[in-house]
Amino acid sequence: MPTQRDNQSGRTAILLIHCPDRRGLVSAITNFISRNDGNIVYLDQHVDAQKKVFFMRIEWELEGFAIAPERIADELKREVADPFQMNWALHFSDEVQRMALFVSRLPHCLYDILARWQSGEWRVEVPLIISNHEDLRPVAERFGIPYYCLPITPDNKPEQEARQLELLREHDIDFVVLARYMQILSPSFVEQYPERIINIHHSFLPAFAGAKPYHAAHARGVKIIGATSHYVTAELDAGPIIAQDVTAVTHRDSVEDLVRKGRDLEKLVLARAIWTHLQRKVLCYDNRTVIFD
């Protein structure tokens, strides 16, 4: 009869930890895995020397591991996590996350995400797209994804956000991507998905936060423009930064040129942030991120 240990081929457990730094942390964690015959395939750790905080991402093969997957969390908690006061999360490599997309009128990030999803570049499901405009419905239809248009006005925002949250729950959404969604989510919405709403802002934050960053960058005469992907928090454009990138511009570039060059940055930076999130390679602490390689 095949045992639990036989059918885990290729499957891994992923453990994310942050806690006060103490001697013996790394060996306590690695011992737990080793003495249960786990083979570590990834280990990255970071110590914030100033704040004395320890961060780790460790991944090991479930094949041959002495503890059944469904019991790992309990044993880990008792033997390691509680004694060291760890904040921790355990994931398995074969979990498929469910991502909701919020869009408005600009298609470039949406196309880029759907192409990656459809071609299998990412292991993710896209159960729905939510928009405040009808413009991108044809794109959603082209990829066969349900599209909900919920126009937002100052008057209806609370009801529409309630409807959005209901849709997210109905579709069992793990995280939300704002793919150039041009509405500000209310704090009460944001707190439902802490560190689970990813935004792309079209500037090199903290420069040019808020509206019309390309106009502002042009007016200031910068020689480089950027894009920033971050987790959404209650404060606008001020959440923990996941990824940033930049590109050179010159005096020849009009605002329209910045918009054009910026589009490519936006889609790449957002894609990089989503990929990092999907890989369980982000930890947030103190409004900053630890991004494991």
> Exposed, middle or buried, 250 (CB in 10 Å: 0-12/13-18/19+)?
exposed
Please report how close the Cβ of residue 233 comes to a second copy at its closest, in angstroms: 12
3-class SS of residue 225:
strand
Residue type, 231: Y
> Rule CB under 8 A: is residue 90 a binding residue for a second copy?
no
CB atoms within 10 A of CB 117: 19
**Among 237, 253, 257, 293, which one carries the catalytic annotation?**
237
Q: Residue 8 CB: number of other CB atoms within 10 A?
A: 18
Question: Any contact of residue 44 with a second copy (CB under 8 A)?
Answer: yes
Least gap, CB of 58 to a second copy (angstroms): 9
Instruction: Candidates 6, 7, 20, 27: give the one binding a second copy (CB under 8 A).
Output: 27
Establish if 108 lies at the interface with a second copy (CB under 8 A): yes
Contact 259, 103 (CB under 8 A): no
Residue 237 is a catalytic residue:
yes
Contact 110, 101 (CB under 8 A): yes
70 touches a second copy by CB under 8 A: no
Question: Which 269-288 positions form the footprint of a second copy (CB under 8 A)?
Answer: 271, 286-288
Nearest to 127 by CA among 115, 136, 140: 140
Tell me the C-alpha distance between 279 and 259, whole Å: 30
142 touches a second copy by CB under 8 A: yes
Residues of this chain that interact with a second copy (CB under 8 A) are 23-24, 26-27, 30-31, 33-35, 37-47, 49-50, 55, 107-108, 111-112, 115-116, 118-119, 121, 142-143, 204-208, 220-224, 226, 240-246, 248, 250-252, 254, 260, 263-264, 268, 271, 286-291, 293
Q: Which residues are catalytic?
A: 237
